[in-house]
Amino acid sequence: MAKKVGFRSSARSKRKSRRKKIEIQKKEFTYRGLTLEELQKLPIDELLPLLPSRIRRSLNRGLTKKQEKLLNDVKKLKQGDIIKTHCRDMPVLPVFIGHKIDVHNGKTFQRVDIQPDMVGHYLGEFALTRSKVKHTGPGVGATRSSKYMPLK
């Protein structure tokens, strides 16, 4: 019986060593065939054909003053600094990746950490304006009939 216990522990150690050998390779991010570094080096004119049509149209018309200010602020600041903005209609560009932007949702500012998969979306998509409804018992001024809650 004692030998079986030793056998089990050696088999267990072999399994552990096999698990350690398997390395998980992280897939490198690409957007329409370009790596992150290539995307960040592209000027906006060359980036336009890669973006979705709605964002391409809004960038062709030109950025608003608020959008230009936000873009310049992002270019000036270091990685990790926080920028507050009400500009929810700003498309996420490769320049924004790695920055933290506080986007106003109508009541408060929500922190958005810009990641590579967010390129081609608007900032407002990541700061939700509606919160989940939490139902509780009847409130003040409820009638007697509506106050009835069955026991669980």
The span from the CA of 106 to the CA of 120, in Å, is 23
Confidence of residue 105 (pLDDT cuts 50, 70, 90): very high
pLDDT at 42 over 70: yes
Q: Which domains does the chain have, with CATH numbers?
A: 29-126 (3.30.860.10)
For the beta carbon of residue 80, count every other beta carbon within 10 angstroms: 9
Higher pLDDT, 136 or 85: 85
In this predicted structure, the answer to whether residue 8 has a pLDDT above a threshold of 70 is: no
* Predicted TM-score (pTM) of this structure: 0.69
pLDDT of residue 33: 87
| pLDDT higher than 60, residue 6 | no
